[in-house]
Amino acid sequence: MSAKLCDICDVCTFSVNLCIENVVGGGDYSQSQVNKWTANIVERCLTQLVKQGKPYKYIVTCAVMQKTGAGLHTANSCYWDTAMDGSCTVRWENRTMYCVVSVFAVATA
Amino acid sequence: MFGWGNCWSVPVCLHGICPGILFSMIMSFSSISTVSYIDELGHHDDNARLAPTMENTYQMGPYKRFPANAATDILKDVLTSYLQEEKYEVEWSQKMTKTLCEVIRARVKELMIPRYKIVILVHIGQLTGQSMQISSRCLWDTSNDTFASHFFKNSSLFGVASVYAIYFE
Phi and psi angles of residue A11, each rounded to the nearest 5 degrees, phi first: -60, -45
Is ipTM beyond 0.90? no
Cβ neighbours of residue A90 under 8 Å, at least 6 residues apart?
A12, A13, A16, A17, A20, A100, A101, A102, A103, B33, B34, B35
- Residue B129 is part of which domain span? 2-167
What is the residue-wise DSSP string for B45-85?
GGTTPPPPPPPP----S-SS---HHHHHHHHHHHHHHHHTT
CB proximity under 8 Å: A 14-73 to B? 14, 16-18, 20-22, 25-26, 29, 31, 34-35, 37-39, 41-43, 46, 49-50, 57-73
**Is B26 within 8 Å of A17 when comparing Cβ atoms?**
yes
Quote the radius of gyration of chain A (alpha carbons, Å): 15
pLDDT digits (tens, 9 = 90+) for B35-62: 887 655 444 445 445 566 778 888 888 8
Which CATH number fits the domain that encloses residue B153?
3.30.1140.40
Number of domains comprising chain B: 1
Number of domains comprising chain A: 1
pLDDT at B152: 93
pLDDT digits (tens, 9 = 90+) for B8-41: 334 454 555 555 556 666 666 678 888 887 655 4
- Residue A19 is part of which domain span? 5-107
| CA separation for the pair A75, B28 (Å, rounded) | 27
Give the predicted TM-score (pTM) of the model.
Answer: 0.81
pLDDT above 50: residue B4: no
Report the length, in residues, of chain A. 109
| Helix, strand, coil share (%) of chain B residues, nearest 5 | 25, 35, 40
> Residue A8 — pLDDT band, cuts 50, 70, 90?
low
| CA separation for the pair A38, A92 (Å, rounded) | 13
